[in-house]
Structure 1
């Protein structure tokens, strides 16, 4: 009998292209895949060289996408009340709950809260189901929190939500104004494009307008550290200055814009002195900015959350747009008011009408002709007739018992919405809370009655639109894990069970996109710039192979599609074809400081994390540069309160009824006195006292409904404990650490385990007893104690499984027992030599781990190593890159490298080299 050995299946390499799922830059990514038989695995990720958004570059988050793409922590099965159920059971229950709610309380008792993480096709189905078939406009999105003020301002000024700029404009302009954006951290790939453009064109000027001196200021020719919330006065002052100096051609502006006289009249009180005083700026710096802008051949104002997240966000944006209209800085290369979105498909959500005050395809709910058109196109039985509830109002209505059913998709509002305690109360009050997500646990899923497993990046398949109106494909490469489904499929399943089979019978996302494209073109006689008629009728192959395109689109004589620059003809989508200047008046933030709450709290993004860390939090590389949230304080404020670097501070506000937030302290002269800054990403999942959103009131812009998330009034004080320390454990053993046994904890993901920074109200001996209480009996315990500290570690089968170090002195005093977690992490799961054991007990750290904070995440280069290189002659980024490789991959660390170079050269009394070369 002959025996044959089965031939092993060959593995072949395949390259697939997709789009990064993080910020609104919309970077293209190339993914090298290993294909063995029918199985696909992702091997390597790089930027797509030909993608117009990034030209092959990625930031540190994009570079580490594959590090976050495993199934650890994924939601893989539908659950009801925490118990696994079949899909039919879950979707039948959802359909029944929606039907019962409508029958008993009406359609407005139902709400959807969706996300800029959804693809355009998902967004379209959610909007169609809610507004056309359920019959309510109570569908809003987390994009309300980031760009709704920009949308409202564009509509007021231009008649349509159209971003009038391209990324190439920020490279070709003579003057770039960055306001309300720490671009270096929030949009690193664009920041690198700006830095290279400035290097190519030394006459290009960059102005940064921000209360903080951020990393973005490393390329600034002028930094205006204005008082938070004073933007309208600054740009009104610019308008007045130019008018007073006869630098505005009113007759010319009148040919394409109306309302200029009223806008100038509103700006009349804001002379240089008034602006400088109101904004708390140096008058000569204000004069310089006004001179540069009013005389610039071309100018772009690049603005983001610092403008939008305000109770006056719409007026701030319109004050900016007024200047661009008045100075004829629009419709040309290198010009325009450029709002940058924060999410990968916030723009796509705007296109399909994902906000409660929109219809679809840039049509309006209040417009009867638009409603009739959409109703007939959808064959909708009960199209909404009035605007729905915006995000904050939606959760307020939920808390009052008016909304009985809510479906939350792809977002974490308990963390991201203001007034967290109110949001939690709303979800407790709501009869039925459905959450579709990719993760099994987060702050919002804790309130879910029904949890549905959705697909994530690398599994999802559809379109996204970036900040410059460029549509790109996110492609499904891997099969959905477990029982996960695409969001559009889940909603279609529910729609079918509600009886709407014909309207939701799609088998491929390309069919959904085609329907959306047809709707943008329906009866669109140049009424709206969003017209995707040239994309109607794409085959599935054409859809699958779709290359990035910007709208508005024009078909050339040869049949190829081209993008058209918006407003190049200076004709706008308004009834008379003219843009509108809007008269605006400065107003103080809603959340005002007072004697009890004297500090202004600002918040924003950190370089290496994304939103609420459900993805980026999975990889140790993205924790290394900033292990947990800190509160940034001016040294003078800290000194007055007796607060030291790395000690703890507590923050409270008038709206928070629970215990205060507690964060480690970071001192920084670059922040205004009286201001504080905390990054947004860390939450109750990552820290016992990290519920930042609880400090913000539900203050919103009256027009856009966007929350005021850049300006809260808080109290600040030192927080001391009796015991401080750290706990490191292997990943599989992490549940053995009882977080309730300590007064404070902040969690960090390590390469081989998990670390908690801890603090206890109890004295040292009591704290030690509580911490080690859950150690398994079969672990071998090694310990060393003295009067003020203790170190102990445990081995399991001769391998290090846990390390504990505690003491009674504050972290700011760098006690001998405080050791780098990276060092301990390198020993976890390792067999320990006698020397290793002694080193752990006595805190004798390997020298390679004593080089200070991580700066370059890609190559794990630390601060002291960089400083030493500068001291020995590496006085430029190129020199550092050659010697240490730092800054040569994603470039996200370049602003920090520049700061280190300057600080080190300053200490050496050498000329500074502040350029991102």
Structure 2
């Protein structure tokens, strides 16, 4: 369909970044219909003007390429897709849900939602499912990253409460980072920690992670513990603290209960045994325990490395236990701090987005809580038992117990463990509805109804970050095509289902209802006291809602003052007001290694990509740092598996397999491999790691085990490697394996194949022309071939402008891509450019800058290394002053430090 013309507005709009849970403020400055300036909001207390590279590149992601711009239906017989009106689409969804509910009951339908939704969207989805349809079958992709924290908080504090604020990171004398590559996944918070360290060099940073990550470059101590041994580590710490007089007895006696049981589960302090169990150096373990014992102001940060485990909830509580024993909670610069992975995971938790919770931090299992919510909503019913959590939800879809599912703003075929089961489930489902901004996703391939939602630049509402700060996300581009806000789509379906209670004049009215529910019957006298209370924000009209400034909860109507730090009054949300120690007996991961699957797979994020790449994958700036998926492994493990650095290999588990390129980063211990989560079937031929991941879940939280999957690695045999750059999509069936990389005026494809080119024939020539669908025998075709070396290079030129090029070799080491990409910026090739294409390297004024290290300023590895060598640079600050790298978000600073060391070592080796 014709893409609409987006009106241009020039006013700066203050909004919030849509990536991680830091919740950075963003100034968006539209310049034209396709260009948006992005800068950090200096007035926002989460980032004070700083943005990471993903946030800085947001302007490259607001275009309409690939957007779903109208409702569409899939014909069940032919599979063809047709555009329909909103009225027809809403009618199809409502009639399908109504029929299935009438025939099979409310538990036969489900919603699967996302931390990408705004709080107002989340609120009405939860209201519709739990209070009107009458089922709790609504879960969120936050189940996959933060639900173990939720369960741990509730066990310890009586409510899902993160007590900290970001300032505590700067006030602490010891910051312990557990299972968190903060430098890459929460760069702005990491820079605050780095700044603290620079200001106070005596402060300590400890990183606990099986991998040596970029975060470890700044650490005073790195503990590369055995995967899955976190509980043993922190149980050992609890026993050590108790036996070495580091406890706060008055706090424990007055404000907690359950310590004796927790200590009994932890056992006696046996450092030698704990070090052995965790595969740690006993000296390093002792140093960590001593640091923790003697440092009053200390913060323990934890993230997905803790949560994403079959023992994730126990890991969370084992950490909290140590803070309770020392009384280090509710005071400046101390406490356990859960870093949230998605922009509105916290907001979704506030409104009951999880299948086992109700809105306003009320509990589905409590009859009084259900009565409060049902009364407030004036709902016809209320769910009476917990719904299906994410993994079991898709199991139920596959089994036919859930017959209709509405998936909002998430891509479960890529993100769920045992991803092929998610595929099978959706294939068998009677009705699959999706709300999304992108038309072609791995999940939309199975949708019967596709509903066009608003994207980040078009959405308007609120989000809550990791320190409980509510911020406004404001639209600065009008809705494109027929796209609608998620809350409006949900309300339209609710009304078509015949339900009252969904007539809102705008999102400000939804927020007001949410705020009123938070304070409704929220009193200790009623026995349903909740710390979550934003009653002070009740009554905002549209203008005041639009002007809402970043605000932390709780913000009670009684005093209208928000609290930046919880538990300062030593009051917890359990009925007796006391916190709970939780006994955490250690247990091994459910699925262990064996002869067939001898290695442990760990998955996670990379610096410049986000989730399944539907947004970041559109940015050329973000494509340069890591352009392909990879398998990071120890060189000795690679040798045992028969694979080499730079070669393609297959990772296999009991559940599936994927293919990626082997690398040796130096950060992996023996027996472990790491693969990033982002690549999917839209951007690579076979790089979806979710298909491999172990589907076992934590029995308390339902969070999957993304950090411990038994796998094997084997060579993926190909006869050639290559890459192409082209303005149009090549014929990808000409390659066995491919990965797409977004460029500014081209698409790059990393290629590999098993074609047996015959040196006696011109097979490369015919193959390459077929790759680009070139039939004209008179086409301007530049090519070079060395048959003995198995090297071939070719380019297609039209009117002196390069249209496409391909480089092939029998070896995986190929020419640099950066200088080739620059040729696509030119309207006319020069003679030197044509010679460079034949040589496979730049000549004349061209320069190979190398792979991108600093994405903010586009600075390549070769540029940085040359500057370090030629100017004898010794510090990251000197590199920044020389070539700008590291001068914006700082997330590449650890890599700069590593390059300084590597360059110096290379220099010494030649002396």
TM range (shorter): over 0.9
Tell me the residue number matched to 2:432: 433
Tell me the residue number matched to 1:46: 39
* Range with greater deviation from structure 2 (205-214 or 877-886): 877-886
Deviation, 1:825, is 1.9
Is 1:725 matched up with 2:727?
A: no
Tell me the residue number matched to 2:567: 567
Tell me the residue number matched to 1:873: 872
Q: Secondary structure at the match of 1:504?
A: coil
CA 1:804–1:252: 2 relative to 1, 3 Å: closer
Q: Secondary structure at the match of 1:292?
A: helix
Q: Which stretches of structure 1, 4 residues or more, deviate above 6 A after TM superposition?
A: none
CA 1:896–1:848: 2 relative to 1, 3 Å: farther
Tell me the residue number matched to 1:611: 611
CA 1:12–1:616: 2 relative to 1, 3 Å: closer
- 1:230-278 Cα offsets, whole Å, 9 max, x none, are 0000000001111111222434312001011111111115510111001
Deviation, 1:390, is 0.1
Tell me the residue number matched to 2:181: 182
Asked whether the 8 Å contact 2:677–2:688 carries over to 1, the reply is no
Tell me the residue number matched to 1:637: 637
2:530 to 528, 531, 535: 528
Q: Secondary structure at the match of 1:208?
A: strand
Deviation, 1:806, is 1.4
- 1:557-576 Cα offsets, whole Å, 9 max, x none, are 7xx63325211111111111
Q: Distance in 1 between matches of 2:827 and 2:34?
A: 28
Q: Distance in 2 between matches of 1:180 and 1:12?
A: 43
CA 1:903–1:823: 2 relative to 1, 3 Å: closer
Tell me the residue number matched to 1:7: none
Q: Distance in 1 between matches of 2:10 and 2:625?
A: 33
2:855 to 857, 880, 883: 857
Is 1:741 matched up with 2:734?
A: yes
Q: TM-score, with normalisation over the residues of structure 1?
A: 0.94
Q: Distance in 1 between matches of 2:358 and 2:11?
A: 41
Q: Secondary structure at the match of 1:883?
A: helix
Tell me the residue number matched to 1:15: 12
Deviation, 1:103, is 0.6
Asked whether the 8 Å contact 1:760–1:767 carries over to 2, the reply is no
CA 1:509–1:423: 2 relative to 1, 3 Å: same
Deviation, 1:635, is 1.6
Q: Distance in 2 between matches of 1:837 and 1:56?
A: 44
Tell me the residue number matched to 2:4: none
Asked whether the 8 Å contact 1:555–1:562 carries over to 2, the reply is no
Deviation, 1:661, is 1.5
Please list, as runs of the form range in 1=range in 2, the aligned pairs for 1:892-903 lying within 5 A after superposition: 892-903=891-902
Please list, as runs of the form range in 1=range in 2, the aligned pairs for 1:315-330 lying within 5 A after superposition: 315-330=314-329
Q: Secondary structure at the match of 1:552?
A: coil
Please list, as runs of the form range in 1=range in 2, the aligned pairs for 1:563-602 lying within 5 A after superposition: 563-602=563-602
- 1:790-837 Cα offsets, whole Å, 9 max, x none, are 211112333211111212x221xx3xxx22222222223633234322
Tell me the residue number matched to 2:141: 142
- 1:502-547 Cα offsets, whole Å, 9 max, x none, are 3000121000000010001110014000111111111211100000
- 1:722-772 Cα offsets, whole Å, 9 max, x none, are 122112111xx11xx221221111111112111111111121345664443
Q: Secondary structure at the match of 2:456?
A: coil
Please list, as runs of the form range in 1=range in 2, the aligned pairs for 1:282-293 lying within 5 A after superposition: 282-293=281-292
Deviation, 1:117, is 0.3
Tell me the residue number matched to 2:405: 406
Tell me the residue number matched to 1:688: 685
Q: Secondary structure at the match of 2:492?
A: helix
Tell me the residue number matched to 1:483: 482
Tell me the residue number matched to 1:802: 804
1:540 to 536, 539, 542: 542
CA 1:193–1:426: 2 relative to 1, 3 Å: same
C-alpha RMSD over aligned residues: 1.8
Asked whether the 8 Å contact 2:165–2:564 carries over to 1, the reply is no
Is 1:821 matched up with 2:820?
A: no
Q: Secondary structure at the match of 1:870?
A: helix
Q: Distance in 1 between matches of 2:851 and 2:227?
A: 30
Tell me the residue number matched to 2:837: 840
Is 1:705 matched up with 2:706?
A: no
Tell me the residue number matched to 2:743: 750
Deviation, 1:689, is 1.6
Q: Secondary structure at the match of 2:596?
A: coil
Q: Distance in 2 between matches of 1:572 and 1:103?
A: 43
Q: Distance in 2 between matches of 1:344 and 1:841?
A: 47
1:78 to 55, 63, 71: 71
Deviation, 1:379, is 1.1
Tell me the residue number matched to 2:333: 334
Q: Distance in 1 between matches of 2:50 and 2:429?
A: 44
- 1:287-309 Cα offsets, whole Å, 9 max, x none, are 00000001111111100000000
CA 1:274–1:11: 2 relative to 1, 3 Å: closer
Asked whether the 8 Å contact 1:738–1:771 carries over to 2, the reply is no
Q: Distance in 2 between matches of 1:212 and 1:94?
A: 46
Q: Distance in 2 between matches of 1:31 and 1:422?
A: 40
Q: Distance in 1 between matches of 2:557 and 2:876?
A: 44
Tell me the residue number matched to 2:510: 512
* Range with greater deviation from structure 2 (766-775 or 521-530): 766-775
Q: Secondary structure at the match of 1:307?
A: helix
Q: Distance in 1 between matches of 2:764 and 2:258?
A: 67
Please list, as runs of the form range in 1=range in 2, the aligned pairs for 1:440-459 lying within 5 A after superposition: 440-459=439-458
- 1:353-373 Cα offsets, whole Å, 9 max, x none, are 000000111001111111111
Asked whether the 8 Å contact 1:157–1:579 carries over to 2, the reply is yes
Q: Distance in 1 between matches of 2:764 and 2:86?
A: 47
Is 1:55 matched up with 2:57?
A: no
Is 1:761 matched up with 2:754?
A: yes
Q: Secondary structure at the match of 1:464?
A: strand
Tell me the residue number matched to 1:665: 662
- 1:394-437 Cα offsets, whole Å, 9 max, x none, are 00000001111000000000000000110000000100100100
Deviation, 1:385, is 0.6
Tell me the residue number matched to 2:650: 650
Q: Distance in 1 between matches of 2:764 and 2:110?
A: 46
Tell me the residue number matched to 1:200: 199
Deviation, 1:155, is 0.1
Deviation, 1:154, is 0.1
Q: Distance in 2 between matches of 1:148 and 1:270?
A: 30
* Range with greater deviation from structure 2 (539-548 or 876-885): 876-885
Q: TM-score, with normalisation over the residues of structure 2?
A: 0.94
Asked whether the 8 Å contact 2:818–2:851 carries over to 1, the reply is no
Q: Distance in 2 between matches of 1:328 and 1:907?
A: 49
Asked whether the 8 Å contact 1:152–1:161 carries over to 2, the reply is yes
Please list, as runs of the form range in 1=range in 2, the aligned pairs for 1:150-169 lying within 5 A after superposition: 150-169=149-168
Asked whether the 8 Å contact 2:461–2:474 carries over to 1, the reply is yes
Q: Distance in 2 between matches of 1:646 and 1:710?
A: 24
- 1:569-589 Cα offsets, whole Å, 9 max, x none, are 111111111000001011111
Deviation, 1:900, is 1.4
Is 1:625 matched up with 2:625?
A: yes
Tell me the residue number matched to 1:715: 712
Q: Distance in 2 between matches of 1:840 and 1:45?
A: 36
Q: Secondary structure at the match of 1:212?
A: coil
Q: Distance in 2 between matches of 1:222 and 1:784?
A: 52
Deviation, 1:908, is 5.1
Deviation, 1:789, is 2.0
Tell me the residue number matched to 1:678: 675
Q: Distance in 1 between matches of 2:13 and 2:534?
A: 26
Q: Distance in 2 between matches of 1:494 and 1:152?
A: 32
Please list, as runs of the form range in 1=range in 2, the aligned pairs for 1:99-110 lying within 5 A after superposition: 99-110=98-109
